[in-house]
Structure 1
Amino acid sequence: MTYLRRKADAYLETWKADPNRKPLIIKGPRQVGKTETIRRFAARHYDSIIEINFVEEPKYRMITADGYGADAIIRNVSLIDPSKRFPSGRTLLFFDEIQDFPDIATALKFFKIDGRFDVICSGSMLGIGYSRIESNSVGYKSDYDMRSLDFEEFLWAHGYGDDVTDDMLGHLVAARPFSAAQMHVFSSLFLDYCALGGMPEVVSSYIANGTFEGTLAMQRQLVLDYQEDIRKYAQGLDQARMLNVFNHITVQLARENKKFQISKVARNARFKDYRGCVEWLEQSGMVNLCYCLAYPELPLKGNYDENKFKLYFGDTGLFVAMLDDEASEDFRANRNLGVYKGALYESIVGEALKKQGYDLYYYKRENSTLEQDFFIRTRDFLVPVEVKAKSGTAKSLRTLVASDSYPDIRFGIKFSAGNIGSSEHLFTAPYFTAFLLKRLVRAFDAGEAPLLDNPDR
């Protein structure tokens, strides 16, 4: 399988260049490319790579039997496999699947103090018990969250370079519409990305074959793997309830009211019985949780109702894989999603925001049709973000921007199938530019992007 360039590549190079680097923990859901990315980086920088997988090689869980010091662990690794070599300053210890042996995190402090070897840890499901890993290594490790490919990485996989991304951002910053050719090419690629998602194996197959052949089977196997992870790692929780939540995400997103309703999951279901299930799925990276704001104002953190939320899949390709056969094939062949169209675009934009580091929030005013898909912020303003699956006016977005009841809001952003445009404090951009939103906001804060010509109402 051809290696796909990842944003983690640049992070690892920066980490390696830091003379004061700490042991690194790369977190993320299963099969997002963590292991391959680390292996490729290691092959370029180290003479000796000691890779230990605690799932495939459980015998290595004994390496801390004599303590957590670097010498004790190196001695026990050598005892298990005498062929391994540890030249000082030229060795990487790569501990993989550490969710099955979180005790190894205690050793990170001692490896940092020792200083002879670099250490990278990785694993899926790390969010579940991460408080234990954190307490064992606080102050002596760095963290990096890795997810499936975003649309920029998908473009890289197609052979597009950084100059294309820079040009896209330039269009947004200057509010300059794309050409007809650009709109056609990037919109078509984006629809392919929506159908495939960003799992490296799926994207690699699509790039190699030039078709969708076999990709749906891969996606559905990933869904089965995630369901199996729930059965394996969801200890102390009702796994049947958790699977019910996971399996109901698609159908609930297809509703007009996309708020996730526990009462629809099972008869007589109560939120208090399912709270832990929802939090577990979010911490695992399988789903993205979007909370309902109590009121659209700053600050965002703490200003939400934890009992009201939407659930999206962490990778939208899984959303498509969870559809029935007819709907999934219709989307691949004809770009038609029917009742799922709004859910798909909302999900893919939410995923783009999450991959940029944003937490997800929406707003629904009680006893009103006023509802807003997402919110982000600039340095000074709260910015509502609308995702339009159909043409037409963004009524709620215009209300939030125009009303004096929301003083933190000065302009809004709408993603649609249309081109770049700006009018009445509303900035419109194509779906395929959603991955650039944080960079656009930074340009706005620096006075470089005229998203709002006149901040005064």
Structure 2
Amino acid sequence: PESVKMWTEARDVSAMQEALSGIIGAYERDFAKHPNISEFPKISMIWKSIPSQLARENKKFIYKVVKEGARAREYEDALQWLVDARLVHKIYRSSAPGLPVAAYDDLSAFKLYLVDVGLLRRLAQLAPTAFGEGNRLFTEYKGALTENYVLQTLITQFEVLPRYWSQNNPPYEVDFLIQRDNDIFPVEVKSEANLASKSLRKFKELFSDNVKLRVRFSLDNLKLDDDVLNIPLFMADQADRLIGLALKQLNP
């Protein structure tokens, strides 16, 4: 893509920013060009609300964040247009790691991620330096950017769209569930140095018969600790191969 080329070949931050803005502008012009014109304002509002949706600690999509008083039935067609156009990924909450995964979808609970993490950063109007700012600027949003990045890599490696799992009282949440062959693996994404994985532990406690391996993406090194495979973020696009190697080591 042009934005990547501007950085990898020219190291021109301004040109990269301009290219990303151009892509976002082209998408937003499509909102008025292709769907029913009556859906244009709703599509635009959903699109522009995504950074706000992901900035929340609980990243579950809330229609009232789009517009005060908004209801699902009023906006679901506009949302589906964005999904069908592959500009956003709609990740459903799963009630359990069962097959087929769609049978366990909670259709009332889902998260929206952008098709590209660079576009998400630009849409959120964060400077490129935000990735290196640590916690000075933001904590929760760094997690959102990291999750969006990992999701991008998972979608290209696994046939079934990932889900996520959560429960309340007390609250636990596993960022993604991925299906590899006929197995489902819980995935946690860490953008901080803290690698505590309470939700992964709880998931195994609840679904011990279904969990062959737990996966964590983080800044730490590649390692297999009991049944937890830690994958460095820069190796996220090798997840399928690394999970296969870990399973062979656990079950020689």
Length-normalised TM-score, structure 2: 0.90
Deviation at 1:234, TM superposition (A): 1.4
Matched, 1:284 2:88: no
Aligned match of 2:7: 206
Q: Compare CA radii of gyration and give the structure with the larger one.
A: 1
Report the Cα distance in structure 2 between the residues aligned to 1:396 and 1:376, rounded to whole angstroms.
16
Mapped contact 2:186–2:214 kept (Cα < 8 A)? yes
Deviation at 1:308, TM superposition (A): 1.0
Q: Mapping of 1:286-435 within 5 angstroms?
A: 286-324=87-125, 327-331=126-130, 334=133, 338-339=138-139, 340-356=141-157, 357-392=159-194, 393-401=196-204, 403=205, 405-435=207-237
Matched, 1:450 2:246: yes
Relative to structure 1, is the Cα distance of residues 406 and 237 closer, same or farther in structure 2, using a 3 angstrom cutoff? Answer: farther
Relative to structure 1, is the Cα distance of residues 316 and 400 closer, same or farther in structure 2, using a 3 angstrom cutoff? Answer: same
Structure 2 counterpart SS, 1:291: strand
- Output the amino acid matched with 2:213: F
- Output the amino acid matched with 2:186: P
- Output the amino acid matched with 1:330: T
Q: Mapping of 1:12-161 within 5 angstroms?
A: none
For structure 1, the residue ranges without an aligned partner over 5 or more in a row are: 1-199
- Output the amino acid matched with 2:163: Y
Q: Deviation per CA, 1:249-295, whole angstroms, max 9, x where unpaired?
A: 01110110011111221111111111111111011011111111122
Structure 2 counterpart SS, 1:368: coil
Deviation at 1:334, TM superposition (A): 4.7
Mapped contact 2:165–2:176 kept (Cα < 8 A)? yes
Relative to structure 1, is the Cα distance of residues 277 and 360 closer, same or farther in structure 2, using a 3 angstrom cutoff? Answer: farther
Matched, 1:243 2:39: no
With 333-342 and 368-377 compared, the bigger mean Cα shift is at 333-342
Deviation at 1:236, TM superposition (A): 6.0
Report the Cα distance in structure 2 between the residues aligned to 1:273 and 1:206, rounded to whole angstroms.
41
Deviation at 1:230, TM superposition (A): 0.7
With 215-224 and 330-339 compared, the bigger mean Cα shift is at 330-339
Report the Cα distance in structure 1 between the residues aligned to 2:110 and 2:238, rounded to whole angstroms.
25
Structure 2 counterpart SS, 1:275: helix
Work out which structure has the larger RCO, using CA pairs closer than 8 Å and 6 or more positions apart in sequence.
1
Report the Cα distance in structure 2 between the residues aligned to 1:421 and 1:370, rounded to whole angstroms.
24
The alignment yields a C-alpha RMSD, in angstroms, of 2.1
Report the Cα distance in structure 2 between the residues aligned to 1:307 and 1:206, rounded to whole angstroms.
40
Report the Cα distance in structure 2 between the residues aligned to 1:236 and 1:245, rounded to whole angstroms.
15
Higher share in strand = 2
Structure 2 counterpart SS, 1:359: coil
Relative to structure 1, is the Cα distance of residues 404 and 269 closer, same or farther in structure 2, using a 3 angstrom cutoff? Answer: closer
Deviation at 1:398, TM superposition (A): 1.8
Structure 2 counterpart SS, 1:247: helix
Deviation at 1:211, TM superposition (A): 3.5
Report percent identity of matched pairs. 28
Report the Cα distance in structure 1 between the residues aligned to 2:28 and 2:5, rounded to whole angstroms.
23
Aligned match of 1:44: none
Q: Deviation per CA, 1:79-100, whole angstroms, max 9, x where unpaired?
A: xxxxxxxxxxxxxxxxxxxxxx
Deviation at 1:206, TM superposition (A): 1.5
Report the Cα distance in structure 1 between the residues aligned to 2:149 and 2:8, rounded to whole angstroms.
20
Report the Cα distance in structure 1 between the residues aligned to 2:72 and 2:206, rounded to whole angstroms.
35
Q: Deviation per CA, 1:203-223, whole angstroms, max 9, x where unpaired?
A: 112122124231111111211
Length-normalised TM-score, structure 1: 0.51
Report the Cα distance in structure 2 between the residues aligned to 1:252 and 1:319, rounded to whole angstroms.
12
